[in-house]
């Protein structure tokens, strides 16, 4: 693995989504680390410095808004983009993701063709 390999932490309770996103992102050359729920993510993040976090919102143990707020309190995550992945299309959800500290959000269902470019934009933006 080269030093330039970007690491993406994907927090998602749905195994089918994890499989889909892992396939897409690995094909793009990313290293994908997965957490099946929020508490696992909190454990993983103690020793992981990802380049980007892809954050599901609806999870059984803690919602992605709350987890994002916790992540943004962690010093080594302060400048790491967190992109919410949500099926919620209710009014106010965009504001809620931004208030929680998310840098943006992508709506489910996942667009297989668009996802790489969507994430690349957040990674590139963060390098400027
Ligand atoms: Mn979910």
| pLDDT per position as a tens digit, 29-41 | 999 999 999 999 9
**pLDDT tens, 106-127?**
988 999 999 999 999 999 877 7
- Residue 46 C-alpha to ligand 1 middle, in angstroms? 22
CA 56 – ligand 1 centroid, Å: 6
Distance from residue 12's CA to the centre of ligand 1 (Å)? 6
Convert the pLDDT of each residue in 84-96 to its tens digit. Answer: 998 766 677 778 8
Q: Are 62 and 42 in contact (CB under 8 A)?
A: no
Q: How many residues does the chain have?
A: 128
Question: How many other C-beta atoms can be found within 10 angstroms of the C-beta atom of residue 118?
Answer: 15
pLDDT at residue number 94:
79
Distance 86 CA to ligand 1 centre (A): 8
pLDDT at residue 56, rounded to an integer: 95
pLDDT number for residue 128: 57
d(CA 82, CA 121): 12
Domains defined along the chain, listed by start? 7-127 (3.40.50.2300)
Centroid of ligand 1 to alpha carbon of 47 (angstroms): 24
- Calpha distance 15→123 (Å, rounded): 25
Q: Are 1 and 31 in contact (CB under 8 A)?
A: yes
């Amino acid at each position: 693995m080269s030093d330039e390999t970007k690491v993406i932490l994907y927090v998602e309770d749905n195994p089918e989504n994890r499989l889909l996103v892992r396939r897409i992102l690995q094909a793009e050359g990313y290293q994908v680390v997965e957490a099946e729920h929020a508490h696992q993510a909190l454990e993983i993040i103690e020793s992981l410095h990802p380049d980007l976090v892809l954050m599901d919102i609806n999870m059984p143990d803690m919602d992605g808004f709350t987890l994002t707020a916790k992540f943004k309190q962690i010093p080594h995550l302060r400048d790491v983009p967190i992109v919410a992945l949500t099926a919620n299309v209710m009014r106010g959800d965009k504001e809620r993701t931004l208030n929680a500290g998310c840098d943006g959000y992508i709506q489910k269902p996942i667009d297989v063709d668009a996802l790489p470019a969507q994430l690349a934009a957040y990674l590139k933006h963060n390098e400027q």
